[in-house]
């Protein structure tokens, strides 16, 4: 079973920051937080992952709370092409990615 | 190529036929995963290969499903005596190595339709 809870849907205006929350209150100390997104009819696309520290790459930033029980994915300047389902995943030693239902982000003009 | 490739992109078959799906990993990626995504649902893990170790088959839904991979090369997922409930997109992912710190990169998937 997925170990994360995400809102089913969110809207964001183009050009604004999209902040996608994720709760993972049962996360263990050696489990990573991963974010993927899936644009309609395509395979999931890796976005970012982290363990304890905040992370940033060319796509997004990942903010993990100090107690690690929640995190936020930030798309700093959302575009229409960012419309997708975003999955927050807690990944353990078994290597499987267990996908939940994700957040459907709709970016509007 | 630069990414994971899968073939065919689409497969339509009749109930009871066998199908074979192919995954070409990113060069040098030792770990390979198969997932299934039914329409409107999330991804389900099927099977995982890491180098020459015994594969983790814990996600295979029945003995009609099998997969092979030789070393770090191509993998094939075979479904025997297909059923309508096998209709789904079958996704392959690979990573540099096993371990939760290595991101998985997905291919575009094979859409299987069983009539």
Query: Going residue by residue through chain B (115 aa), what tens digit of pLDDT does each one get?
Result: 579 999 999 999 999 999 999 999 999 899 999 999 998 888 899 999 988 888 999 999 999 999 999 878 899 999 999 999 999 999 999 998 877 778 899 999 999 999 9
Provide the pLDDT for residue A100. Answer: 85
Q: Which residue of A has its CA nearest to B33?
A: A96
Measured distance CA(A27)–CA(A2) in Å, rounded: 11
Q: SS3 for B84?
A: helix
Nearest CA-CA distance, residue B38 and chain A, Å? 12
CA distances from B37 to A101, B24, B87 (A): 12, 19, 9
With contact defined as beta carbons under 8 Å apart, do B35 and B91 qualify? Answer: yes
Measured distance CA(A37)–CA(A44) in Å, rounded: 5
Give the number of other CB atoms < 10 A from CB of residue B64: 14
Measured torsion, CA atoms of residues B43, B46, B48, B52, in degrees rounded to the nearest 10: -160
Provide the b/e sequence for A64-74 (b: ≥16 CB within 10 Å): beeebebbebb
Nearest CA-CA distance, residue B24 and chain A, Å? 14
With contact defined as beta carbons under 8 Å apart, do A69 and A24 qualify? Answer: yes
Provide the pLDDT for residue A28. Answer: 87
- Exposure of A12 in the CB half-sphere (CA atoms within 13 A): 25
Enumerate the residues of chain A whose CB falls inside 8 A of the CB of residue B48: 95-96
How many residues would you count in chain B?
115
Measured distance CA(A45)–CA(B59) in Å, rounded: 22
Q: SS3 for A2?
A: coil
Provide the pLDDT for residue B99. Answer: 77
pLDDT along chain A (109 residues), means of 10: 88 97 91 92 91 94 95 97 95 80 95
Using alpha carbons only, what angle is made at residue B99 by residues A104 and B71, rounded to the nearest 5 degrees? 110
CB contact under 8 A, B42 and A99: yes
CB contact under 8 A, A102 and B42: yes
Enumerate the residues of chain A whose CB falls inside 8 A of the CB of residue B104: 46, 97
Nearest CA-CA distance, residue B109 and chain A, Å? 6
Q: Say yes or no: A104 contacts chain B, CB-CB below 8 A.
A: no
**Which candidate from B48, B103, B107 shows the least CB-CB separation from A96?**
B48
Provide the pLDDT for residue A44. Answer: 92
Provide the pLDDT for residue A1. Answer: 65
Enumerate the residues of chain A whose CB falls inside 8 A of the CB of residue B98: 95
């Amino acid at each position: 079973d997925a170990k994360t809870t995400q809102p089913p849907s969110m809207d964001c205006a183009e050009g604004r920051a999209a902040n996608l929350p994720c709760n993972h209150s049962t996360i263990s100390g050696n489990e990573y937080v991963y974010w993927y997104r899936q644009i309609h009819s395509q395979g999931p696309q890796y976005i970012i992952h982290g363990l304890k520290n905040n992370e940033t790459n060319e796509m997004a930033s990942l903010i993990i709370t100090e107690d690690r029980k929640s995190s936020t994915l930030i798309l700093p300047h959302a575009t229409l092409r960012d419309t997708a389902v975003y999955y927050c995943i807690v990944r353990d030693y078994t290597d499987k990615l267990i996908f939940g239902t994700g957040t459907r982000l709709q970016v509007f003009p | 190529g630069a990414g994971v490739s899968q073939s065919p992109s689409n497969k339509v078959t009749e109930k009871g036929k066998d199908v074979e799906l192919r995954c070409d990993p990113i060069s040098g990626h030792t770990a390979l995963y198969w997932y299934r995504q039914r329409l409107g649902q999330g991804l389900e893990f099927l099977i995982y290969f890491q180098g020459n170790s015994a594969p983790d088959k814990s996600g295979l839904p029945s003995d009609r499903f099998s997969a092979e991979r030789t070393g770090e090369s191509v993998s094939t997922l075979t479904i025997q005596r297909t059923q309508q409930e096998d209709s789904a997109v079958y996704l392959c992912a690979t990573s540099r190595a096993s371990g939760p710190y290595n991101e998985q990169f997905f291919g575009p998937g094979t859409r299987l339709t069983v009539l």
